[in-house]
Amino acid sequence: MKNLLRPLVLTALTLALAACMSSYRITTTDGQVYIADETPVYDVATDSYAFTAQDGQQVRLSKQQIELIKEQ
């Protein structure tokens, strides 16, 4: 029974980790594409989204500049 339980637990943990590691594709109205590892944060005061691109660049875009934010 223990031999069967261990692989099941490891598989469940692996799937749970994979589900938490989604990235986001942010496409701007001028065609630029950014990939972010975390959810872009919307700032109501400035009407903009802020995120860190995969290359480490801190990006802030106004809501009007963004065409699509899609989870990958």
Q: How far apart are the first and last CA of the chain?
A: 37
Round to whole Å and give the CA distance between 28 and 70: 12
Residue 51 near residue 40, CB atoms below 8 Å? yes
Q: Which two tokens stand for residue 70?
A: 């899609």
Per residue of the chain (72 residues), give pLDDT as tens: 567 677 666 565 555 555 556 899 999 999 999 999 999 999 999 999 999 999 999 999 999 999 999 999
Angle at the Cα of 67 from the Cα atoms of 56 and 60, rounded to 5 degrees = 35
The pLDDT, as a whole number, for residue 31 is: 97
Beta partners for residue 12, in sequence order = none
The pLDDT, as a whole number, for residue 14 is: 55
The pLDDT, as a whole number, for residue 22 is: 87
